[in-house]
């Protein structure tokens, strides 16, 4: 019944008027006969004796009067006092017309018939419209607010979500999309299955607003391919989470979510090597500097999974430390939050000694290129001097392993942030060359998706505000990796070190930032403004920021690289500065930061950091 009402209510306006007129033309003569039948208390009666084809006159005259009063032009769902008044006037006119017919002896009409007919006519017109209004509000109007959805994937998840959507008030499943040829043209759960190409032609015709990916086990590459195939359409792409995130295996409407750009840019993960993850962590006291940052906090999450004896959180931001400490309190691992700066070597040594720390992951650093460019002394003091004092403290206290987390911006940097990281690398390499008891390693990688320094959160915010989305340059490219993958690889790389190693994480293919912006706009259900000015959200190019490069590199010397036992970790052999010399350099570097000596800083960075030649001060 609901489907019938929905189909009638979905007709074009003109066709709905024809339905109402036809219904009234059938019912008005019936009302007249009923008035005579009730008066004489028997069905076999002569109606309007003397007037042949009375039913034609009653039907046409009644409908014509109501039409002239605008009854059929009004929208039934907006049934109101004005509509009732028009019905009353139309009914009154017909009552007067019947008395006129009686007075003129055109037909035999008893005195009570016009009033009885008028009462029944008004009741019919009122109740019929009220029932139509009620039915449409309870069925069609409710369904009309539901988003029309095509489900991509006719498997078990697709069938489960179709059943769930049919019971929901928010979504209306219209059809399935599946690339299996054997399913083409078939029906499932009452919905027809279309091939992807045919479905794209039908999206507009069916009024589909969203395509729901119901393939929880599909890989990132395939998911990206499917989403890109819908770029020419105006539909929003939604998805169900991965199999591991569906707790009980049953798909629910609440599981539907927007496609996360991180899922598309990230790669299908390579299973980690358990022995590498546990080597420097299990049953050991581990400290993470910069523990509240994007990488530092994820390192902490990964570390507690591998049963350390204790985890020391070292962080200078009170709120960041509070957040990660609170998150890890229920991990079952003893967590010690320490508020402090990595530039305070005395405190570092005291903490390392007090808790007998065995492994240090040094993630503390400033990473926003424009901010460090505007505050070069703070950037170098925190990152370069901070690393020097951290590794010196680790060596002085006999820490077993020290892992410096570096960045691709340290390779031939054009900005202070990258130069400060390269100086930190050089000091660690020089110190490692003295063969201390502490095994010192460096892990270098590119951008991590979703970090505080990533463009992804910025783009999401700009899209939510309606644009514009700002990109520095149409040709700028970056490497991307998910935070969990980066943290796992950092731990594994650190476990492979023998001292002085520079490990590079395989970042995959570089991504054009403007392409990333366009894809995020499409995933949000909008269209990027094209060269003709057509679209929803504009992309604006703001120009490269101070010290920013068009592209980043992971290698300084591409020839001196070898593979390791892990397919996504490479080892680079790079030149470094003798420790005795680097110690003197850092004394000068520290002095320049304290005295704000631009000239000395510029000379040191230009002389010892390969590729750094820009006069930034």
pLDDT tens by residue, 563-575: 887 878 888 887 8
Has residue 268 been placed in a domain? no
Give dist(CA 592, CA 578) in Å, integer. Answer: 21
User: What pTM, to 2 d.p., does this model score?
Assistant: 0.65
Backbone angle region of 331, left / alpha / beta, with phi > 0 → left and psi within -120 to 50 → alpha: alpha
Same domain flag for 523 and 541: yes
Tell me how far apart the alpha carbons of residues 210 and 235 are, in angstroms, rounded to a whole number.
Answer: 5
Distance CA 90, CA 496 (A): 92
* Euclidean distance between CA atoms 60 and 73, whole angstroms: 17
Residue 554's pLDDT is 58
- Structural domain tally of the chain? 3
pLDDT value of residue 246: 46
pLDDT at 476: 86
8 Å CB contact between 296 and 363: yes
- Answer yes or no: is 33 within a domain: yes
Do 390 and 525 sit in the same domain of this protein? yes
Report yes or no: 261 and 237 within 8 Å, Cβ to Cβ: no
Domain endpoint, select from 217, 232, 259: 259
Considering the domain architecture, whether residues 163 and 232 belong to the same structural domain is answered as yes
Within this chain, do residues 217 and 315 fall inside the same structural domain, yes or no? no
Residues 251 and 178 in one domain: yes
Domain annotation covers residue 128: yes
Residue 569 and residue 469 in one domain? yes
Q: What is the pLDDT of residue 616?
A: 42
Residues 115, 101 share a domain: yes
Q: Is residue 191 part of a domain?
A: yes
Of 231, 259, 287, which marks where a domain is finished?
A: 259
36 & 109 share domain: yes
The reply to whether 137 and 153 lie within a common domain is: no
Q: In angstroms, what CA-CA distances link 19 with 68, 139, 353, 510?
A: 17, 18, 88, 61
Q: What CATH number did the domain enclosing 236 receive?
A: 3.40.50.720
Burial profile 428-440: b = 16 or more Cβ within 10 angstroms, e = fewer: bbbbbbeebebbb
Statement to judge: residues 452 and 515 lie in one domain: yes
Q: Is 43 helix (H, G, I), strand (E, B) or coil?
A: coil
In a domain, 562, yes or no: yes
Regions of the chain short of the pLDDT cut 50: 141, 143, 243-249, 615-617
Residue 255 and residue 279 in one domain: no
Q: Is residue 267 a part of any domain in this protein?
A: no
Same-domain pairing of 151 and 131: no
The reported pLDDT for the residue numbered 260 is: 67
Tens of pLDDT along 317-353?
Answer: 999 999 999 999 988 899 999 999 999 999 999 999 9
Domain contains 206? yes
In 215-228, which positions are buried (b, 16+ CB within 10 angstroms) versus exposed (e)? bbebeeeebbebbe
Position 40 in a domain: yes
Helix segments in 218-364, DSSP class H = 220-229, 261-265, 274-279, 294-304, 318-328, 345-354
Give the pLDDT score at 247.
Answer: 43
**Domain containing residue 193:** 146-259
Q: Which of 259, 285, 310 is the last residue of a domain?
A: 259
């Amino acid at each position: 019944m609901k489907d019938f009402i929905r189909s009638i209510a979905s007709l074009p306006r003109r066709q709905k008027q024809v339905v109402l007129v036809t219904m009234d033309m059938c019912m008005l003569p019936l009302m007249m006969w009923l008035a005579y039948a009730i008066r004489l208390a028997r069905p076999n009666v002569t109606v309007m004796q003397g007037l042949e084809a009375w039913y034609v006159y009653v039907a046409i005259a009644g409908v014509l009067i109501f039409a002239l009063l605008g009854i059929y032009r009004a929208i039934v769902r907006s049934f109101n006092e004005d509509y009732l008044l028009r019905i009353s006037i139309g009914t009154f006119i017909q009552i007067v017309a019947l008395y006129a017919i009686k007075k003129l002896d055109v037909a035999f009409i008893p005195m009570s018939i016009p009033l009885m007919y008028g009462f029944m006519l008004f009741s019919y017109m009122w109740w019929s419209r009220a029932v139509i209004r009620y039915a449409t509000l309870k069925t069609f109007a409710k369904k009309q607010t539901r988003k029309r959805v095509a489900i991509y994937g006719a498997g078990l998840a697709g069938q489960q979500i179709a059943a769930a959507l049919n019971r929901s008030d928010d979504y209306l499943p219209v059809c399935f999309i599946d690339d299996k040829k054997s399913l083409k043209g078939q029906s499932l759960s009452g919905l027809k299955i279309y091939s992807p190409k045919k479905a794209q032609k039908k999206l507009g015709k069916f009024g589909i607003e969203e395509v729901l990916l119901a393939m929880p086990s599909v890989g990132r590459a395939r998911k990206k391919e499917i989403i890109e195939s819908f770029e020419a359409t105006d539909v929003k792409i939604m998805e169900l989470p991965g199999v591991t995130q569906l707790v009980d295996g049953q798909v629910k409407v609440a599981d539907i979510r927007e496609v996360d750009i991180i899922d598309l840019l990230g790669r299908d993960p390579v299973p980690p090597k358990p022995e590498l993850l546990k080597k420097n962590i299990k049953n050991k006291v581990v400290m993470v500097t910069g523990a509240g940052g994007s990488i530092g906090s994820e390192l902490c999450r990964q570390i507690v999974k591998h049963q350390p004896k204790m985890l020391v959180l070292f962080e200078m931001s009170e709120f960041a430390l509070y957040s990660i400490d609170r998150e890890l309190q229920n991990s079952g691992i003893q967590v010690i939050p320490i508020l402090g700066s990595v530039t305070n070597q005395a405190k570092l040594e005291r903490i390392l000694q007090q808790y007998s720390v065995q492994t240090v992951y040094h993630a503390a650093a400033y990473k926003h290129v424009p901010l460090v460019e505007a505050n070069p002394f703070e950037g170098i003091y925190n990152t370069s001097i901070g690393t020097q004092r951290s590794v010196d403290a680790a060596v002085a206290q006999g820490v077993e392993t020290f892992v410096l987390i570096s960045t691709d911006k340290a390779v031939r940097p054009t900005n202070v942030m990258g130069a400060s990281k390269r100086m930190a690398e050089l000091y660690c390499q020089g110190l490692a060359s003295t063969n201390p008891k502490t095994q010192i390693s460096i892990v270098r990688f590119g951008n991590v998706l979703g970090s505080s320094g990533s463009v992804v959160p910025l783009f999401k915010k700009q899209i939510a505000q309606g644009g514009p989305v700002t990109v520095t340059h149409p040709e700028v490219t970056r490497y991307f990796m998910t935070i969990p993958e980066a943290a796992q690889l950092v731990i594994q790389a650190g476990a492979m070190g023998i001292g002085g190693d520079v490990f590079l994480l395989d970042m995959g293919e570089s991504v054009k930032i403007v392409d990333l912006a366009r894809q995020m706009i499409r995933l949000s259900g909008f269209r990027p403004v094209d060269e003709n000015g057509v679209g929803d959200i504009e992309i604006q190019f703001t120009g490269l920021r101070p010290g920013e490069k068009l592209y980043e590199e992971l290698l300084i010397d591409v020839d001196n690289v070898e593979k390791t036992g892990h397919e996504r970790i490479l080892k680079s052999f790079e030149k470094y500065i003798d420790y005795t010399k680097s110690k003197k350099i850092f004394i000068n570097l520290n002095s320049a930061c304290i005295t704000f000596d631009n000239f000395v800083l510029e000379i040191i960075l230009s002389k010892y950091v390969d590729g750094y030649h820009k006069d930034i001060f």
